[in-house]
Amino acid sequence: MKNSLVAKIFYEIADMLEIKDVQFKPQAYRRAAQAIESLSKPIEDVAAESKLEEIPGVGESIAKKIEEIVRTGKLKYHEDLKKSFPIKIEELFSVEGIGPKKIKLFYDKLGIKNLKDLEKAAKQGKLRELPGMGEKSEKQIFESIQFAKASGQRALLGYILPVAEEIKEGMQAAGNVDDIEVAGSIRRMKETIGDIDVLVVTKQPKKAIDHFTNLKNVDKVVAKGPSRSTVRLKEGIECDIRVIEPRSFGSALMYFTGSKTHNIELRKVAIKKGWKLSEYGLFSGSKRKEKQIAGKTEKEIYAKLGLKYIEPEMRENTGEIEAAAANKLPKIVGYKDIRGDLQMHTTWSDGVNTIEEMAHAAKALGHEYICISDHVGTLKIAGSMSAKEIEKQMKEIDKINKKMRGIEILKGAEVNILSDSSLDLKDSVLKGLDVVFASVHSGFRQSKEQLTKRIVSAMENEHVDIIAHPTGRLIEKRKAYEVDFDKIFETAKRTGTILEINAYPDRLDLNADNVRYAIKSGCKLIIDTDAHSADHLRYIRLGIATARRGWAEKKDIVNTLPLKKLMKVLKK
DNA sequence: GCCGTTTTCGGCCCGACTGTTTTCAGTCG
């Protein structure tokens, strides 16, 4: 699948054209890149079918370029552009306060090509002498570089969500906050988060902002004004707060939630109706005599635009606006629809809590059932259990089930799919379990064909109910291994094997795009935490969010079912 | 470079803030 390669090349072209001060083309390339990135099909397949120009934002010229990339793996136009700009553009763009104009200025006047050059020039006081620059800008650039270095990559949603919630609670404790919401990519439940955006309604803006800058996890106040402020938190992430008028709360929430491309499309819908949409509301009339027709809530704005309400997790401009206009939005699975969690580890393998502790924690979360799925097999990873130990554990589970009320514990196991496609445990043992997970834990570097074959043959096994974390990726750490999704989804559907959405913060695997494709292919999914401690069971909402981002409905997720019905969906 | 219930040509989302200016360009969200 070359989609991400094509998108990357187009993003880079957009950046370079912007530096060259070319008008409008950068937007065109970005739009195409974004559409290709979120395509559910391999771009080479679309090219083979000669349907490239059906992709929104792709016309004759870009279609030709895609064909060249698919054919040769690169693009001459892109290579030529790069030659005229020997600059690490992505690196420089990542510095806050620097855009295309400054990058060009720095390169033309000082020959700055990368972050290191820029830092050096800032240190030596060379930037301040350039036109349009001054001491303050130079200092700000230097500080942004330091901050970027210290905080590194984007933070995982699973770790930042609790921080954002703490801030929200901290603000509510101030007593003068009438309404508060965390917006931004957190509200859209993106896998990784750049910063935290908080919106408040208050009659005492100054007091609220003072309270904000004095919250206990604030490390440094970056900016502080009458209606907004930015701070750096001890967790190494920035947090913005904005005071909003009640009449604009919905439009502001919409605007700051994004995504940016979703907003742009909405504004186009407004323009078509002769209106204007901004963070202050939806307006009719000319500039001199404009009248607010909506803004208090998101719902009324969508309604006025002729659209059904779109859940934040779906606002990525991947067809949700068209679907909302046609009243064809799916009713996506809710955060309270999950009845149980089937993947978790205990002290029997590499978990830190006992079976009983896990059961109590799950019950407290409202689960009706859980499954203990410790590692099993001969592969010496993660304290795998032998067939003998499995026997013992099953008896222990029987005992706990007898004494605990209100939750049912299933007997399960996570078995390795070995490099030769065989399973790491005999069928005779698997047969006795309620739920069998199979997953790849070794040989990640095999070819796409081999890895696909391993997973497919595991699915063909009559005892394997679920494929755990099907692509093996670890966010910001390890890329997904390449597999043939068409083949995997087809096999899953045919054999009745369920695919997992692993809710662990750095996995979220299948990811949202895969989820959407899997559902389209007719697969059933399950959301599990893969908890290695009782605390981890809370991660379930990250998995639900991933399902929602992939447009999954309740009927697509098997652990929304009561236990009896769930057992019928499993293979035996 | 793309696209069309204003258009096959002439548009392309909108507003605020910051730091540099002396009326605004660049950047951000």
Give A418-472 pLDDT, tens digit per residue: 888 888 888 888 899 999 999 998 887 788 889 999 999 999 999 999 999 999 8
In a domain, A353, yes or no: yes
A515: pLDDT confidence band, cut at 50, 70 and 90?
very high
List the single protein residue with the shortest CA to C1' distance from B5. Answer: A272
In this prediction, residue A230 carries a pLDDT of 86
* pLDDT > 80? residue A476: no
A356: pLDDT confidence band, cut at 50, 70 and 90?
very high
Q: Which of A40-49, A376-385, A459-468, A550-559 has the weakest average pLDDT?
A: A376-385
A377: pLDDT confidence band, cut at 50, 70 and 90?
confident
* pLDDT > 80? residue A382: no
Q: Which of A293, A325, A357 is the last residue of a domain?
A: A325
In this prediction, residue A412 carries a pLDDT of 93
Tell me: do A177 and A293 sit in the same domain: no
- Per-residue burial over A376-404, b = 16 or more CB atoms within 10 Å of its CB, e = otherwise: bbebeebebbeeeebeebbebbeebbeee
> CATH no. for residue A229?
3.30.460.10
Other CB atoms within a 10 A radius of the CB of residue A143 amount to: 15
CB of A354 closer than 8 Å to CB of A533: no
A492 vs A443 pLDDT, higher one:
A492
Give the DSSP letter of residue A138. Answer: H
In this prediction, residue A94 carries a pLDDT of 80
Q: How far is the CA of A21 from the C1' of B8 (A)?
A: 26
The beta strands (E) that lie in A244-372 are given as 276-278, 281-284, 291-294, 340-341, 369-372
A287: pLDDT confidence band, cut at 50, 70 and 90?
low
d(CA A316, CA A255): 13
A350: pLDDT confidence band, cut at 50, 70 and 90?
confident
Q: Which nucleotide's C1' sits nearest to the alpha carbon of A61? A: B1
CB of A241 closer than 8 Å to CB of A198: yes
3-state secondary structure of A416: strand
In a domain, A62, yes or no: yes
Q: How far is the CA of A463 from the C1' of B28 (A)?
A: 54
Q: Which of A101, A134, A151 is the last residue of a domain?
A: A151
Q: Rank A54-58, A232-236, A391-395, A552-556 by mean pLDDT and report only the highest.
A: A552-556
Q: How far is the CA of A318 from the C1' of B25 (A)?
A: 33
Tell me: do A21 and A165 sit in the same domain: no
Tell me: do A425 and A464 sit in the same domain: yes
Q: Which nucleotide's C1' sits nearest to the alpha carbon of A226? A: B17
CB of A315 closer than 8 Å to CB of A304: no
In this prediction, residue A312 carries a pLDDT of 95
Q: How far is the CA of A76 from the C1' of B20 (A)?
A: 40
Residue whose structure tokens are 């004004």: A225
Tell me: do A496 and A520 sit in the same domain: yes
Strands A375-376 and A408-416: parallel
d(CA A267, CA A529): 38
d(CA A60, CA A54): 10
| HEC assignment per residue over A38-66 | CCCCCHHHHHHCCCHHHCCCCCHHHHHHH
In a domain, A373, yes or no: yes
In this prediction, residue A380 carries a pLDDT of 59
Contacts from A480-483 at CB under 8 Å and sequence distance 24+? Answer: A480/A509, A480/A511, A481/A440, A481/A444, A481/A445, A481/A446, A481/A451, A482/A1, A482/A447, A482/A448, A482/A451, A483/A448, A483/A451, A483/A452, A483/A455
A75: pLDDT confidence band, cut at 50, 70 and 90?
very high
In a domain, A367, yes or no: yes
Rounded to two decimals, the pTM is 0.80
Q: Which of A245-259, A362-376, A465-479 has the weakest average pLDDT?
A: A465-479
Tell me: do A507 and A526 sit in the same domain: yes
In a domain, A331, yes or no: no
List the single protein residue with the shortest CA to C1' distance from B21. Answer: A132
What mean pLDDT value characterizes chain A?
89
Other CB atoms within a 10 A radius of the CB of residue A306 amount to: 12
Q: Could you tell me the residue range of the domain that residue A193 belongs to?
A: 155-243
List the single protein residue with the shortest CA to C1' distance from B18. Answer: A137
List the single protein residue with the shortest CA to C1' distance from B11. Answer: A24
Q: How far is the CA of A443 from the C1' of B13 (A)?
A: 48
Q: What is the pLDDT of residues A268-281, one digit of tens each?
A: 899 888 888 989 99
Handedness of CA A125, A128, A130, A133 (dihedral sign): positive
Strands A177-182 and A195-202: antiparallel
Tell me: do A198 and A309 sit in the same domain: no
3-state secondary structure of A178: strand
Residue whose structure tokens are 């390449």: A482
Q: Which nucleotide's C1' sits nearest to the alpha carbon of A138? A: B19
A561: pLDDT confidence band, cut at 50, 70 and 90?
very high
A142: pLDDT confidence band, cut at 50, 70 and 90?
confident
Q: Which nucleotide's C1' sits nearest to the alpha carbon of A22? A: B1
Q: How far is the CA of A271 from the C1' of B9 (A)?
A: 20
Q: Above pLDDT 70, what percent of chain A?
A: 97
Q: Which nucleotide's C1' sits nearest to the alpha carbon of A197? A: B29
* pLDDT > 70? residue A153: no
d(CA A214, CA A191): 29
In this prediction, residue A152 carries a pLDDT of 60
In a domain, A482, yes or no: yes
In sequence order, which ranges of A336-426 are alpha helices (DSSP H)? 355-364, 387-403
Q: What is the pLDDT of residues A3-40, one digit of tens each?
A: 888 988 998 898 888 888 888 888 889 888 888 887 77
Q: How far is the CA of A447 from the C1' of B13 (A)?
A: 45
Tell me: do A95 and A182 sit in the same domain: no
d(CA A312, CA A391): 46
In this prediction, residue A454 carries a pLDDT of 93
d(CA A48, CA A164): 46
Enumerate the nucleotides of strand B whose atoms come under 7 Å of any protein CB: 1-3, 5-6, 11-21, 25-29
Angle (CA) A359-A361-A366 rounded to 5° is 90
Tell me: do A358 and A390 sit in the same domain: yes
In this prediction, residue A3 carries a pLDDT of 84
Q: What is the pLDDT of residues A108-122, one digit of tens each?
A: 888 898 888 999 898
Average pLDDT of the segment spanning A482-506: 94
Residue A220 backbone zone (phi > 0: left; psi -120 to 50: alpha; other: beta)? beta
> CATH no. for residue A22?
1.10.150.110
Q: Give the type of residue at A18.
A: E
Tell me: do A268 and A372 sit in the same domain: no
Strands A228-233 and A218-224: antiparallel
Strands A375-376 and A195-202: unpaired
Other CB atoms within a 10 A radius of the CB of residue A56 amount to: 12
Q: How far is the CA of A229 from the C1' of B19 (A)?
A: 18
Average pLDDT of the segment spanning A62-83: 91
Q: Which nucleotide's C1' sits nearest to the alpha carbon of A101? A: B26
In this prediction, residue A151 carries a pLDDT of 62
Q: How far is the CA of A294 from the C1' of B4 (A)?
A: 28
Q: How far is the CA of A175 from the C1' of B3 (A)?
A: 51
Tell me: do A227 and A254 sit in the same domain: no
In this prediction, residue A108 carries a pLDDT of 87
Q: How far is the CA of A143 from the C1' of B26 (A)?
A: 19
* pLDDT > 80? residue A572: no
Based on the structure, what is the number of domains in chain A? 4
> CATH no. for residue A413?
3.20.20.140
List the single protein residue with the shortest CA to C1' distance from B24. Answer: A132
In a domain, A542, yes or no: yes
List the single protein residue with the shortest CA to C1' distance from B6. Answer: A272
3-state secondary structure of A146: helix
In this prediction, residue A405 carries a pLDDT of 93
Tell me: do A207 and A229 sit in the same domain: yes
CB of A187 closer than 8 Å to CB of A165: no
Question: CB under 8 Å to A75, separation ≥6 — which residues?
Answer: A9, A65, A68, A69
> CATH no. for residue A253?
3.30.210.10
Q: Which nucleotide's C1' sits nearest to the alpha carbon of A135? A: B19
Q: Which of A243, A275, A301 is the last residue of a domain?
A: A243
Q: What is the pLDDT of residues A288-336, one digit of tens each?
A: 677 889 999 999 999 999 999 999 999 998 889 999 999 999 999 999 9
Tell me: do A358 and A500 sit in the same domain: yes
In this prediction, residue A31 carries a pLDDT of 87
In a domain, A310, yes or no: yes
In this prediction, residue A286 carries a pLDDT of 66
CB of A308 closer than 8 Å to CB of A327: yes
In this prediction, residue A115 carries a pLDDT of 87
Burial class of residue A91 in the structure, from the number of CB atoms within 10 Å of its CB (0-12 exposed, 13-18 middle, 19+ buried):
middle
Residue whose structure tokens are 């006081």: A125
